[in-house]
Amino acid sequence: MFRTLIVLAGALLAFATPAAAQQRAPLDWFLGYDQFRGATLSPDGRHLAVIRRDDVGDVLLIVDLETRRPTPIQRARADQSLEISQVTFASNTRVAFRLVQRNRVVANTRTIHRSRGSVDDGFETNTRIYASNLDGTNLVQLYDPSALSPYLDAGVVSDLPNDDDHILILVPTAGGAELRKVNINTGAAQTVENGTLFTFGYEVDVNGTPVLRQDSVQNGRGYTWSRRAPGQRGWTEIARFSGAAAANSGPDFQPIGAATQPGQVFVLARRDGNDTSGLYIYDSATGQYTETIQTNPNFDVTDAELDTANNVLQAACWWAYRWTCEAKDAAFGERWTSINNALGDQVNVRLIDRSDDGNRWLIYTNGPQDLGTYYMYNHQTRSLNAIISQRNNVNRALLPTQHVLEYTTSDGQRQWGYLWLPPGVTMEAARNLPTVVVPHGGPEGRDTWGSDPFAQSFSSQGYAVFQPNFRGGGGFGRAFVVAGHGQWGQRMQADVADAARHLITAGITDPNRICINGWSYGGYVAFTASFMNADIFKCSVAGAGVADLRAMLRWVRSGNRNDVQGGGGGGGAQSTSYQYWTDAIGDPNRDDAGLDAVSAAQNANRVGMPLLMIHGDEDITVPIDQSILMQRAMERAGKPTRLITLHDIDHYASPNNGEAWRTVLTEALGFFNEHIGPGVPPGGGT
């Protein structure tokens, strides 16, 4: 039996406490940095490392779990664009961490760039890696890029569970990239493996030997995986992905950790003609999948719970309606079931870390009424204790609830989505509510249980919110993704419209008070709804959306695009990025009229509702020119509209641009309140 203990230790270990009574939740609850993040456990289970965010920036805290005393050991100042990330216990007495600095990239000034993951729409990060004692003394720098270039990124590949003195890090060098084994006590390093100018990832086996390597190809528009058996020299390419292949919609090949035997790793892959991705053991010596661990005909398997200290696979995991893990180890399964039963079915439950003896587990939960909580499970005492709330002083009574709602599309397919209801509104009482439909981006993304800034903020202010699961989205197999190809403004749009009609028919939504809001691909849906679905929606907010498909394709063809789907650099009719987008959207050489028919900027004279546009001027995923095209088209058509420009903001929501996202949410809520809303001031709270 579990006992739940609320632990307090000054400002650190505080569980959520009720806020003062207020009408609506403040938007601050859904914006910016969590107060605590990135928690991890020492191998002996005695100490916890966690990053605390305050007004100055990040503080790395080490918490003695027996005395409940937090010790701040490092500081990263926000005014210097510094953050702390990837904290790991290298041993029971030493902790390693990355100090990351975000820099604006000036065109044609980069001299070296290795890390595929470091580009952030006009910004890049450079990284320093350090190790220190648990009290902050004996601080040793393990990597410093300053001698090469300000635009370099590095990361920890493995903390080498069986070696208390070393970790493996991947670092760029003047001649390529190196995998280094670094002594965490002295900083002394030895080169384990030399990569190329384009190497940005390795996977190691149980002995810490690199057996898989990841390289960028085609000027960043794609990447490869190569294998090598332990003891061999040359690498053999085994998988190549270009453009958006495998992006968002489930991995075709992705290693996730060492298996029990030398040369073997656990991988996520879509193989043997399967529509969905599964979990397998892969042998780097033979290039063969030696064991099938988990497949699911309905969902892509996307993760696993691995006991790295003992090289035991404990569970395979995927996003169903909620985060779901199927146990592969009997002892783990018994504990996991008990923990999930104790925490309930309204939260996602994840195992973040464990002590080497398996006695202490660090658990993380989040859900519609849980903005992130860390728990400590002690198997010896059978206790499950809440120790850290990521956002303190949150009154759960002011948070919305989330429900799975099924509906049937106009072509007869059963679909579903997430319905968010305002605080205090039950499913039984959900009648004639003002409603905002929020289609996801990607389009090869998907919505998940318990976390969405639009859904949580809008519903907390008195709106029902529906997130439809439309064709073209990822996580449900490749066929579901391909069903959206060439269907922008057609079947994909119809799936969203059918969801809105179902809400009205079911009596949940007031037909006179329903709007649509989307970002990225969701912004395209909102743009298109403004002229195509004027019989349903009463207003539209299009954020960072595509308004003219032919203009977007021309821009992609020119090689300006720099996200995972378009790559970056290059361009031309034969480029992989352009080929992807002509598959996904349509070929303008064959179907100009068809693309124009589903482009809002070509149909501004048909717009039948108030339209608000929001776009970042540093967006190089969907350029702000798309919203400017729509603004000009509306002006020519004599239709009122408004474009809000977010200055120095890229395409993606991230904690560091929280103030810009405050503008996004506040302006959208003000717009809804004006046209359909309950009259609550945007931002909420009194």
pLDDT tens, residue by residue, 352-398? 999 999 999 999 999 999 999 999 999 999 999 999 999 988 999 99
With contact defined as beta carbons under 8 Å apart, do 456 and 535 qualify?
no
414 and 465: one domain? yes
pLDDT score, position 568:
36
pLDDT tens, residue by residue, 304-323? 998 877 778 899 999 999 99
- Does residue 159 form part of some domain? no
Total number of domains in the chain = 2
Calculate the CA dihedral of residues 189, 191, 195, 201 and round it to 10 degrees: -50
Q: Which of 354-363, 453-462, 553-562, 647-656 has the lowest mean pLDDT?
A: 553-562
pLDDT at 18 over 70: no
The pTM (predicted TM-score) of the whole model is 0.89
- pLDDT band with cut points at 50, 70 and 90 for residue 559: low
Edge-to-edge strands, sheet with 210-217: 199-204, 210-217, 222-227, 236-242
- pLDDT band with cut points at 50, 70 and 90 for residue 677: confident
pLDDT score, position 119:
41
Assign 648 to helix, strand or coil: coil
- Does residue 530 form part of some domain? yes
451 and 578: one domain? no
- Does residue 50 form part of some domain? no
d(CA 366, CA 225): 33
- pLDDT band with cut points at 50, 70 and 90 for residue 114: very low
β 433-437/509-519 pair status:
parallel
d(CA 52, CA 596): 49
Assign 158 to helix, strand or coil: strand
Q: Which amino acid is at 446?
A: R
- pLDDT band with cut points at 50, 70 and 90 for residue 37: very high
Phi, psi angle pair for 352, to nearest 5°? -85, -40
421 and 491: one domain? yes
CA angle 462, 466, 470 (to 5 degrees): 165
pLDDT at 662 over 90: yes
- pLDDT band with cut points at 50, 70 and 90 for residue 251: confident
pLDDT score, position 15:
35
- pLDDT band with cut points at 50, 70 and 90 for residue 247: very low
412 and 464: one domain? yes
With contact defined as beta carbons under 8 Å apart, do 509 and 503 qualify?
yes
CA angle 394, 400, 402 (to 5 degrees): 130
- pLDDT band with cut points at 50, 70 and 90 for residue 221: low
Assign 582 to helix, strand or coil: helix
pLDDT score, position 681:
42
557 and 487: one domain? no
pLDDT score, position 152:
56
Edge-to-edge strands, sheet with 47-53: 36-41, 47-53, 57-64, 69-77
525 and 558: one domain? no
628 and 671: one domain? yes
Q: Which of 146-150, 324-328, 356-360, 623-627 has the lowest mean pLDDT?
A: 146-150
pLDDT score, position 220:
58
pLDDT score, position 577:
64
* Of 503 and 242, more confident: 503
pLDDT score, position 121:
44
State the residue range of the domain holding 554: 550-598
pLDDT at 104 over 90: no
Average pLDDT over the chain, rounded to an integer: 86
Print burial letters for 448-469: b (CB count within 10 Å at least 16), e (below 16).
bbbbbbbbbbbbbbbbbbbbbb
Residue range 460-484: average pLDDT? 93
577 and 565: one domain? yes
d(CA 259, CA 249): 25
Q: How many contiguous H segments (helices) and E segments (strands) does the chain have?
A: 10, 35
How is residue 576 written in tokens?
């992989």
pLDDT tens, residue by residue, 398-448? 999 999 999 999 999 999 999 999 999 999 999 999 999 999 998 888 999
pLDDT score, position 273:
82
Task: Give CA separation, 412 vs 21, 298, 407, 436, 557, in Å.
Answer: 46, 18, 10, 24, 37
Nearest alpha-carbon partner for 270 in 244, 297, 290: 297
d(CA 368, CA 372): 10
Q: Which amino acid is at 602?
A: Q
Task: Give CA separation, 174 vs 106, 156, 171, 425, in Å.
Answer: 21, 19, 10, 60
Highest mean pLDDT out of 66-75, 114-123, 220-229, 657-666: 66-75
- Kindly state the DSSP code that residue 162 receives in the 8-state scheme: T
Phi, psi angle pair for 130, to nearest 5°? -130, 165
CATH code for the domain in which residue 487 is found: 3.40.50.1820
d(CA 424, CA 303): 35
Nearest alpha-carbon partner for 442 in 322, 348, 384, 525: 525
Residue range 107-134: average pLDDT? 58
557 and 420: one domain? no
457 and 586: one domain? no
**H or E element at residue 31:** none
d(CA 459, CA 166): 48
- Does residue 383 form part of some domain? no
Strands (E), 391-526: 401-408, 414-421, 433-437, 464-468, 509-519
Nearest alpha-carbon partner for 163 in 179, 184, 139, 178: 184
pLDDT tens, residue by residue, 586-600? 776 667 888 999 999
pLDDT tens, residue by residue, 284-300? 999 999 999 999 999 99
554 and 544: one domain? no
Nearest alpha-carbon partner for 141 in 129, 152, 126: 129
- Does residue 418 form part of some domain? yes
418 and 458: one domain? yes
pLDDT score, position 245:
53
- How many whole angstroms from its chain centre is CA 96? 24
- pLDDT band with cut points at 50, 70 and 90 for residue 120: very low
Q: Which amino acid is at 261?
A: Q
d(CA 7, CA 1): 19
- Does residue 145 form part of some domain? no
* Of 101 and 175, more confident: 101
pLDDT at 7 over 60: no
Nearest alpha-carbon partner for 171 in 158, 185, 157: 157
β 642-646/611-616 pair status:
parallel
pLDDT score, position 451:
83
